[in-house]
A and B are shown apart, each in its own frame.
Chain A
C-alpha cells in the first residue's frame, strides 16, 4: 500500500517540480530540450505497452506519432480549439487506427504484425503527402499563440503539457503492467499458444494493448506541430522517431514499466547533447549502435542489469 502512495505522490511531485521549473527559469532552450526528452518518454512508454509487455514489435511508431500531429494540425486549421481537445482527438484517431491494425493482423504470427506496422506508416505518409489541406508533401506552418494560461511563453506551456502526458502515460503503463491485464500480456509474450490454452483471452488483450499504444502515441504527436511550427511528412514520419521508440525501452529494459522511462531519459538527453556538441548525424549513429549493442549484449536492459547486480550482492 505504501508503495502505491509513494508512486502517486512522486507523480504529483514531478508535476509540481515542472510547474516550479516553468516559474523560475526563462531560457527557452531548457524547455525545448525537456520537451524533446519527454516526448521520447511518452513514445517509449507507448511502444513498450505492446512491444515490451506483450512482445509484439511495432516498427510504425512514427506513423502513429505523425497521424496524431496531423490530426491536431487539421483540427486547428478548422477552428481555434484548446490543446486538450486536440490531444484527445489525436488520441482517439490513433487509438482507432491501433485497434484496426490489431484486428487486421494480430491473428497472424508476430512477425507479420511488425511488417504490417511498417506498411501502415508508409500508407499514412502517402496519404498525407497527397492531402493538400494540411500542406501535402511541401509541409505546413503552424503559428502558435505567444502565451497560454499563466505561462510566460508558449514553449513553457508545451513543456508542461508534455510533462502531464508523460505522467499520464507512466500511470497507465504501471497500472497495465501490474494488473491481471499485464500478467496476461506477459503470458502472451512468453508463449502465446500456452497462454491461449490456459484461458487467457489473447486476442482481446492484444487489442487492448494496441489501442492503448495508439492512444498514447497520438497524445505524444498532437502538440508536435505547435512545438516545431513547421511540419512536413518527412520530419513527422522520420525513421528516427520509430527507432527511438524501440531503442529507448530496449536500453532501459522492456519487462517493467520503469524501463522505458529510464531508457528515454538517458538516450533522449544523450542525443540532445550530442546534437549540440558533436553533430546531428553522429547522434543517429549513437542511437543505432546503442540499440544493437543492448539488444545483443544486455537484452534485459538497464533495469535487468541493475537487477542482476542487486541479486548478486545479496
Chain B
C-alpha cells in the first residue's frame, strides 16, 4: 500500500538519515579516499564517540553534541598516534595493503571488546531536551532526534569541505593524495600532513558518534553494520570527494528508508552492501571519481 503520504515520509526520513551518514563517512572519505589508509576501524571510533557522549551525558548531564565537540581533540590525538604506529610499522616498509588492513581490523576488534568490557552489551542512550520533540510540515514528520543530527552533520561536512579547499593545510592534504613527491619538493612534510589529516578524520568520528547516540540507542558492536554503509558511501561517492560523499550518503539514506518502509526494516542493512557490490562491479571509480 503505497500512499503519497507514506512515500513523502520515507523520502524525508531518508534525507535526514543520509545527512547523518555523511557525518559518519566523511572521516573515512579523508582517510581512505585522500590518504589511502583503509581505516575499517572508523565505525568503531564512531561508536567510541557515542560512548563518550553517553558517559559524560550520564555523569554530568552535558549535551551529547557538546561532548562530541569537547572530546574531538582527544580523538585527534589518538588518530595522530595511530597513524604514527601505522606509518612506522607498515607504510614505511610498503606493507600497508595486507598487514595495514589487518592492523585496523585488530584495532576495531579491540575497541569493540574494550567497550563491552567496560559498559557491557546493553543498549545505552542519552538524554537531551530535544530528543523527544517532533515538528510537522503538512503530513510529513520531522522528528528532532533526526533533524538535529542532520543539521550538525551538514555543518561539519561543509566545514571539512571548506577546510580542505580553502586553507593551506587542507590543500596540502589534497596534494598528498595526488602527488607526494611534488608536495615534498614544495617544502611540506608529507608524513606530518598525513598525520594531521588522519587525526582530523578520527576527530570527525567523535562528533558523528554523538549524533549516532542521539538518533538511537547504541551498543558496542553496532559499528559493524556501519562498516558496509561507510565504505559503500565513500566508494560510491568517488574516493575522497567530499561532495561525492555527501551525494552518496543521501542516496544510501533514501534507498535504506525506502526499503525499510516498503520491504521491512530487517532488509535495510543489506542495501548498503548491495550498493557497494554493484558499484564495485559496474563503476568502481564512483560517482565523482578522479579516474
Contacts and interface: CB of A to CB of B under 8 A. Distances in A.
Interface of A: 51, 55, 57, 59, 104-105, 108, 110-112, 114-116, 118-120, 122-123, 126-127, 129-130, 137, 189, 239, 243, 246-247, 250, 281-282, 284-285, 287-289, 291-292, 295-297, 299
Interface string B277-291: 100110010000000
4 interchain residue pairs of minimum CB distance: A119-B273, A292-B106, A288-B110, A126-B270
A281 B284 contact: no
Nearest to A247: B106
Contacts of A287: 109
Nearest to A105: B280
Interface residues of B, number: 41
Nearest to B231: A115
B110 A110 contact: no
A247 B38 CA distance: 18
Given A295-B99, A296-B103, A122 B109 contact: no
Nearest to A279: B117
A278 B270 CA distance: 37
Nearest to A238: B221
A116 B276 contact: yes
Given A285-B117, A295-B102, A104 B110 contact: no
Given A119-B273, A284-B109, A296-B85, 9 more contacts: A105-B281, A110-B98, A111-B38, A114-B40, A115-B231, A189-B98, A243-B109, A288-B113, A289-B110
Contacts of B95: 299
Interface in B205-254: 221, 224-225, 227-228, 231-232, 235
Contacts of B277: 104-105, 116, 119-120, 123
Interface of B: 38, 40, 85, 89, 95, 97-99, 101-103, 105-107, 109-110, 112-114, 116-117, 221, 224-225, 227-228, 231-232, 235, 266-267, 269-270, 272-274, 276-277, 280-281, 284
Most buried by A among B95, B101, B269: B101
A291 B106 contact: yes
- Residue of A105, A112, A122 contacting most chain B CB atoms (<10 Å): A122
Contacts of A288: 106, 109-110, 113
A137 B117 contact: no
B33 to A, nearest CB: 12
Contacts of A299: 95, 99
Contact of A129 (B231, B266, B284): B266
B106 A295 contact: yes
B228 to A, nearest CB: 5
Contacts of B224: 122, 239
Nearest to A237: B224
A130 B106 contact: no
